[in-house]
Amino acid sequence: MTTPGSSGSSSAGSIESRIAEELGVRERQVKAAVELLDGGSTVPFIARYRKEATEMLDDAQLRTLEERLRYLRELEERRTAILDSVREQGKLTEELEARIRGAETKARLEDIYLPFKPKRRTKAQIAREAGLEPLAEGLLGDPGVAPLAAAAAFVDADKGVPDAQAALDGARAILTERFSEDADLIGELRERMWVRGRLAAKVREGKEEAGAKFADYFDFAQPFTDLPSHRILAMLRGEKEEVLDLVLEPEEATEGPSSYEGIVAHRFGISDRGRPGDKWLTDTVRWAWRTRILVHLGIDLRLRLRTAAEDEAVNVFAANLRDLLLAAPAGTRATLGLDPGFRTGVKVAVVDATGKVVATDVIHPHVPANRWDEAIAKLARLAKEHAVELVAIGNGTASRETDKLAGELITKHPELKLTKVMVSEAGASVYSASAFASQELPDMDVSLRGAVSIARRLQDPLAELVKIDPKSIGV
């Protein structure tokens, strides 16, 4: 698979150098791997058959390299597009170009570009066209001026400014846009909110019963940095199913202005010292924070939370899947599989050392039948008749009670020399009703096929689990 978006030679060299530094390897190793990826080679192929070219980069390093290569190339493509856009607008200064070229992440690049991004005709733009920018600049630069008095000079009905209050509203729109498009400020506030903020959930009115599976989150809040991936994903699912309302809180609620408003005010030299314009300016800061900046950061951090949670979930699932599929097989030993159940009984299947089914049965040791002794006698007979060595117990409903049954079987019949093992039965019911199971065990009742799968997955987990639909495998 060809890695997308190759850049020019100078940026390519910079990308390769950066990846080499991040991975702690030599640049020539990265360059060799990049050439192979661009040539259509896959990570598994390079890891196995091109070790001499990459000087022994392993599969983990190559996967990271491929991910970073894609990200950094996309970053360079976006950087070039932004430079072209700002240049066409005639606004590209040496300082701005240096800032754009120095941006190391997509988020930082977009923060810098925000003031120059073509946008719909905004309230701020309309206010500028009405000649209100000098009013905004004047009020910001001299808080000693009374806002209404200053605004009176800008009233012009022909320009859509019928009175002084309309002029002040336009000036506020201009300043709000300026505050919310300051790249350094937005970057600082984003990281502060990531460290101090939290994700809060509330149940929607009338959804308590229908959304019972999300009960843990009906009144819940936890800092972003403490949230485990499974909890983030569960809350997002609850929101998608219209059970939960989620709110990204920048910090714990306090009386008075938030610390974020204080940072915005400090950035632009705004403070409330009792001067005529101070209250209007601090209200403008509050308006900018609540209506523009917080909304923008909320979108960014929601995406960051989801991405981090999904990445962690993938890693956890991969590790669990590896452990499950590569679990040590019990080997070629006759095994008795028990698929636990209460009302419908415990399904029993005996497979020989090769996995061939040699016997099946159903026992009813638990409520409501309570035929405990009869069940033990049946199991002992089957174990003796087929030289069973292992007892595999599915870990679903009634598993503890069935484990106790197997324990008593072993105690009462030490001559059988049985060993019991609890086995994950995830996917066994799915397998039992699958087309594959119908072909493999055509004459067997569906309810008994699960017991066969449980017995076989103790003998050789990988050979049995590959028959199950991946989404039902239980990781």
Give yes or no for residue 8 having a pLDDT over 50: no
Separation CA 96–CA 183 (nearest Å): 11
Q: Which residues, 6 or more positions from 409, have their beta carbon under 8 angstroms from its beta carbon?
A: 376, 379, 380, 383, 391, 416, 418
- Residue 297 has a pLDDT of 96
Flag whether pLDDT at 11 surpasses 80: no
User: What strand order describes the sheet that includes 198-203?
Assistant: 219-223, 198-203, 244-249
Q: Which two tokens stand for residue 77?
A: 């493509």
Average pLDDT, the chain: 93
- Residue 7 in this model has a pLDDT that exceeds 60: no
User: What confidence score (pLDDT) does residue 434 get?
Assistant: 87
Do 77 and 174 sit in the same domain of this protein? no
Tell me the per-residue pLDDT of 171-224, one tens digit each, with 9 for 90 and over.
Answer: 999 999 999 999 999 999 999 999 999 999 999 999 999 999 999 999 999 999
Residue 463 lies in a domain: yes
Q: What percent of the chain has pLDDT over 70?
A: 97
| pLDDT tens figures, 276-317 | 999 999 999 999 999 999 999 999 999 999 999 999 998 888
| 86 within a domain of the structure (yes/no) | yes
Give the domain CATH number at 353.
3.30.420.140
Q: What pairing do the DSSP bridges indicate for beta strands 244-249 and 219-223?
A: unpaired
Other Cβ atoms within 10 Å of 255 Cβ, number: 4
Nearest CA-CA partner of 465 in 370, 323, 349 = 323
- 83: domain CATH number? 1.10.10.650
**Predicted TM-score of the model (pTM):** 0.70
* CATH number for position 289: 1.10.3500.10
pLDDT in the model for residue 13: 66
Task: Verify that 127 and 110 share a domain, yes or no.
Answer: no
Supply the range of the domain harboring residue 193.
Answer: 123-197+250-317
105, 237 contact by CB (below 8 A): no
User: Contact, 137 vs 128, CB < 8 A?
Assistant: no
Residues 183 and 306 in one domain: yes
The whole-angstrom separation of Cα 382 and Cα 234 is 45
The predicted pLDDT at position 327 comes to 84
Structural domain tally of the chain? 3
Do 101 and 156 belong together in one domain? no
Alpha-carbon distances, residue 383 vs 49, 351, 356, 460 (angstroms): 49, 11, 15, 20
* Pick from 130-134, 317-321, 441-445, 470-474: least confident: 470-474
Cis before residue 228, ω within 30 degrees of 0? Answer: no
362-379 average pLDDT score: 97
- What pLDDT shows up at residue 1? 40
Residue type, 245: D
Is residue 156 domain-shared with residue 17, that is, in the same domain?
A: no
- Please determine, for residue 166, whether its predicted confidence score (pLDDT) is greater than 70: yes
- The amino acid at 400: R
Tell me if 20 is assigned to some domain: yes
Bridge pairing between strands 219-223 and 346-351:
unpaired
Residue 3: pLDDT over 60: no
SS3 assignment for the chain: CCCCCCCCHHHHHHHHHHHHHHHCCCHHHHHHHHHHHHCCCCHHHHHHHCHHHHCCCCHHHHHHHHHHHHHHHHHHHHHHHHHHHHHHCCCCCHHHHHHHHHCCCHHHHHHHHHHHCCCCCCHHHHHHHCCCHHHHHHHHHCCCCCHHHHHHCCCEHHHCECCHHHHHHHHHHHHHHHHHCCHHHHHHHHHHHHHHCEEEEEECCCCCCCCHHHHHHCEEEEEHHHCCHHHHHHHHHHHHCCCEEEEEECCCCCCCCCHHHHHHHHHCCCCCCCCCCHHHHHHHHHHHHHHHHHHHHHHHHHHHHHHHHHHHHHHHHHHHHHHHHCCCCCCCCCEEEEECCCCCCEEEEEECCCCCEEEEEEECCCCCCCCHHHHHHHHHHHHHHCCCCEEEEECCCCHHHHHHHHHHHHHHCHHHCCEEEEECCCCHHHHHCCHHHHHHCCCCCHHHHHHHHHHHHHHCHHHHHCCCCHHHCCC
User: Which of the listed residues 267, 290, 317 is the one where a domain comes to its end?
Assistant: 317
Mean pLDDT within 341-357: 96
Whether residue 396 is found in the same domain as residue 413: yes
Do both 70 and 111 map to the same domain?
Answer: yes
Are 168 and 313 part of one and the same domain?
yes
Tokens at residue 319, please?
Answer: 């590790």
The vertex-423 CA angle with 422 and 426, nearest 5°, equals 140
Give the residue from 116, 133, 149 where a domain finishes: 116
At residue 145, φ and ψ (nearest 5 deg) are: -85, 135
pLDDT band, very low/low/confident/very high, at 398 (cuts 50, 70, 90): very high
Of 61, 117, 65, nearest to 89 by C-alpha is: 117
Residue 1 in any domain: the answer is no
Does 240 fall in a domain?
Answer: no
- pLDDT for the residue 9: 46
Read off the pLDDT of residues 23-58 as tens digits, 9 standing for 90 and up: 999 999 999 999 999 999 999 999 999 999 999 999
Output the CA angle 126-127-132, nearest 5 degrees. Answer: 150
How far is the C-alpha of 28 from the C-alpha of 194, rounded, in Å? 37
Q: 183 and 259: one domain?
A: yes
CB-based contacts of 442, cutoff 8 Å, min separation 6: none
In a shared domain, residues 146 and 106: no
Same domain, 463 and 404: yes
pLDDT at 12 over 80: no
Asked if the model's pLDDT at residue 2 lies above 70, the reply is no
Mean pLDDT of 363-385: 97
Together in a domain, 340 and 464: yes
The reply to whether 220 falls in a domain is no
pLDDT for residue 253: 72
Q: Which of 407, 387, 389 is nearest to 399 (CA)?
A: 407
Whether 242 maps to a domain, the answer reads no
d(CA 28, CA 247): 47
Q: Is residue 35 situated within a structural domain?
A: yes
Given 101, 116, 131, the domain boundary residue is 116
pLDDT of residue 121: 87
What pLDDT sits at residue 474? 74
